[in-house]
């Protein structure tokens, strides 16, 4: 099972609030039948401003701009207006990840912000253990991988980011995680054999959590060449569309177009069905850990 919608999340993310506000404003403009260019001309805004707002490319939503748009679109219902302004106010808050914004790409920052309030994450990994399931001794050599020189201080900050993200997997409102790992991930030694044994034991421990489902896609499952690590974010509210975060060798890609999201969802379902069952995966992990 990879579809899940649980109770309303107590984990609140300003990123999701901004995303929701942007989508609502776009719907209101389209319902009014006006173009973005007409809106910009009406307010004397610079070209492209409304497009940026409707894409969610704003760090701190401007309350006056939101009020002006609600007036222009003829939104007079006080409940609706207050809901939109509440989204804008919440969107102006700073998540814990804001402290590390200079170390991450915009796509990675957006992903972490949405992950913070996601109901569930479907994750397929062909290169490494997912960050949400890594131990610190596995993280450090992974973070150092690549041609760029990274200082010890930055390495430790990146470890902090992953450990903070992992907190979403515990507690009453825990994130639901479905992870399919290519078998090669389990055999690729990171750090040392001792580190790998500790990492595999950690996977066994995490698999015991009721909200974590780990499966291994064995070598016999078929050809996955051409695909890379990706995560599908699912949210509690039906109006919050699923999104996909794709890790590539030199960059990241954040996908929200429904057709493209559907492609990754279908592939995940295929690999999920082809993978070992959770019980078989546990047996595999115990065998390798020993």
Please give the Cα distance from 119 to 171 (Å, whole number): 13
pLDDT in tens, 72-125: 999 999 999 999 999 899 888 888 888 888 888 888 888 899 999 899 999 999
- The confidence score (pLDDT) of residue 146 equals 72
pLDDT in tens, 112-145: 999 998 999 999 998 899 999 999 999 999 998 8
pLDDT bucket at 30, cuts 50 / 70 / 90? very high
**Lowest model confidence (mean pLDDT) among 13-27, 33-47, 149-163, 249-263:** 249-263
Mean pLDDT value across residues 281-285: 93
- The confidence score (pLDDT) of residue 172 equals 83
Structure tokens at 188: 């690729």
pLDDT in tens, 215-246: 999 888 766 555 788 999 999 888 888 999 98
pLDDT bucket at 8, cuts 50 / 70 / 90? very low
Provide DSSP, 126-176.
SSS--GGG--HHHHHHHHH-SSS---HHHHHHHHHHHHHHHGGGSSTTPPE
Please give the Cα distance from 138 to 156 (Å, whole number): 12
- The confidence score (pLDDT) of residue 127 equals 85
Residue in 17, 214, 246 with CA at minimum distance from that of residue 111: 246
Structure tokens at 103: 């170390």
Structure tokens at 183: 């078998």
Task: Decide if 84 contacts 21 (C-beta within 8 A).
Answer: yes
Provide DSSP, 228-276.
--EEEEE-SSTTS--EEEEE-SS-EEEE--HHHHHHHHHHHHHHHHHSP
pLDDT bucket at 250, cuts 50 / 70 / 90? low
Residue in 231, 272, 269 with CA at minimum distance from that of residue 114: 231
pLDDT in tens, 191-210: 999 999 999 999 999 999 99
pLDDT in tens, 136-172: 999 999 998 876 788 999 999 999 999 999 999 998 8
Please give the Cα distance from 207 to 213 (Å, whole number): 6
- The confidence score (pLDDT) of residue 225 equals 55
């Amino acid at each position: 099972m990879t579809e899940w919608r649980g109770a309303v999340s107590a984990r609140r993310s300003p990123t999701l609030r901004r995303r929701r506000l942007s989508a609502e404003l776009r719907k209101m403009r389209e319902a009014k039948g006006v173009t973005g260019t007409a809106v910009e001309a009406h307010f004397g805004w610079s070209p492209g401003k409304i497009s940026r707002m409707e894409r969610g490319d704003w760090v701190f939503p401007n309350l006056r701009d939101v009020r002006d748009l609600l007036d222009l679109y003829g939104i007079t219902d006080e409940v609706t207006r207050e809901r939109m302004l509440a989204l804008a106010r919440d969107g102006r808050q700073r998540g814990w990840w804001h402290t590390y914004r200079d170390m991450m790409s915009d796509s990675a920052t957006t992903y972490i912000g949405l992950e913070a309030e996601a109901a569930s994450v479907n994750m397929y990994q062909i290169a490494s253990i997912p960050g949400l399931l890594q131990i610190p001794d596995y993280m450090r050599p992974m973070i150092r991988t690549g041609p760029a020189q990274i200082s010890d201080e930055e390495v430790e900050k990146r470890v902090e980011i992953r450990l903070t993200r992992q907190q979403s997997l515990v507690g009453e409102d825990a994130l639901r995680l479905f992870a399919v790992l290519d078998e090669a991930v389990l055999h690729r030694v990171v750090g040392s054999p001792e580190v790998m044994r500790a990492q595999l034991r950690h996977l066994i421990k995490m698999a015991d959590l009721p909200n974590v489902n780990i499966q291994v896609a064995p070598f016999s499952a078929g050809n996955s060449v051409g695909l890379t690590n990706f995560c599908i974010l699912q949210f509690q509210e039906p109006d919050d569309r699923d999104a996909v975060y794709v890790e590539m060798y030199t960059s990241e890609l954040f996908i929200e177009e429904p057709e493209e999201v559907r492609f990754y969802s279908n592939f995940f379902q295929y690999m999920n069905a082809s993978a070992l069952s959770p019980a078989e995966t546990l047996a595999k992990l115990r065998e390798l850990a020993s």
